[in-house]
Amino acid sequence: MSNLLVLGCSYSELEHHVKYGHRDNSYTIQIKNELGFNNLINLAISGASPQMVNRLLFQYIANPRFGMPDFVFIQWPYATRSEYYTDNNNDEQARLFTRTGESNGSIYSWKKRIGLDITDFVDNKEYFVVYNSEWSSTSETISGSQQNAHYRLTTDISQQLINLSKEVFIAETLLDKLNIPYAYVESDMKVNKYGTLPGLLSKEHENLKIYDYTKQLCHKKFLIPNCGIQLDSPTFAKDRYKDGHPGELSHKRFAEYITPKLKELIK
């Protein structure tokens, strides 16, 4: 029995594949099968920020309902995003993850948002429940005034780099301590007609004054640089699903690119 845990935003979530194509199109299922893991625990959530990824990672590790991961792959969401604690209890109290299918083993992924019936799920071993009602995501549920405040504080690329580096450090430290192997990619690099915009974590940002500080924050030993599943990544095939997310070919190309690198890391 071996478990691959994947965290990220909508780029790693299965929902749009199920809706517009086939679930197995997702790069997450492709790497699970190529790397020979039995189970995929896909905790990706649409609109997730780097902070949210860590919140889910810590919460899952503290209560590994579907088993401890043997390998963790993180697709860090855009560094422009964040989440803030608000105390505003919204109706979508929590997110529910459960076993959603088979693909040479079990697939566990996001199932639905749950409201007042949350107590039906929290003690059930078949479900992993992430409390979410008091957090506001800057890409989904935050109020207008908080959104403006967020943009004011994070509009500077150096500030984004610091925020992302701190979150990467937090994940690296946790996984290093637990001796769980891992790797990650970022979503902040893109290729367009003007050239390549390097990722925030890449060495190309050495010109930023803040780089000397951020390079001490995370060791980046397991960063797979210059790739990603985001729109305009080097493997993006311009084959968008109807909801705008990268399509089947983009996922296939990304999976083919990272699989040998992940095999090397796992070895």
User: Where in 202-221 is the site for other proteins (CB under 8 A)?
Assistant: 209-210, 212-213, 216-217
Residue 7 lies near other proteins (rule: CB under 8 A): no
Q: Min. distance of Cβ 152 from other proteins in angstroms?
A: 4
Using CB under 8 A, count the residues that bind other proteins: 33
Q: Which stretch binds other proteins (CB under 8 A): 118-126, 148-156, 220-228, 252-260?
A: 148-156
User: Where in 155-194 is the site for other proteins (CB under 8 A)?
Assistant: 156-159, 162, 166, 169-170, 173-174
Nearest to 97 by CA among 6, 189, 184: 6
Q: Min. distance of Cβ 250 from other proteins in angstroms?
A: 33
Q: Which stretch binds other proteins (CB under 8 A): 28-36, 68-76, 142-150, 259-267?
A: 142-150
SS3 call for 231: coil
**Bridge-based pairing state of the strands 106-114 and 39-42:** parallel
DSSP-assigned letter for residue 240: B
The amino acid occupying position 128 is F
Residue 36 lies near other proteins (rule: CB under 8 A): no
Rounded CA-CA distance 15/136 in Å is: 21
* Sequential DSSP letters for 127-189: EEEEE-TTEEETTTT--HHHHHHHHHHH-SHHHHHHHHHHHHHHHHHHHHHTT--EEEE-S--
Q: Min. distance of Cβ 238 from other proteins in angstroms?
A: 33
Sole binder of other proteins in the list 123, 125, 152, 267 (CB under 8 A): 152
Beta-sheet strands, E only, within the chain: 3-7, 39-42, 71-75, 83-85, 94-102, 106-114, 127-131, 135-137, 182-185, 190-192, 195-197
Using CB under 8 A, list all residues that contact other proteins. Answer: 55, 58-59, 62, 84-87, 131, 134, 145-146, 148-150, 152-153, 156-159, 162, 166, 169-170, 173-174, 209-210, 212-213, 216-217
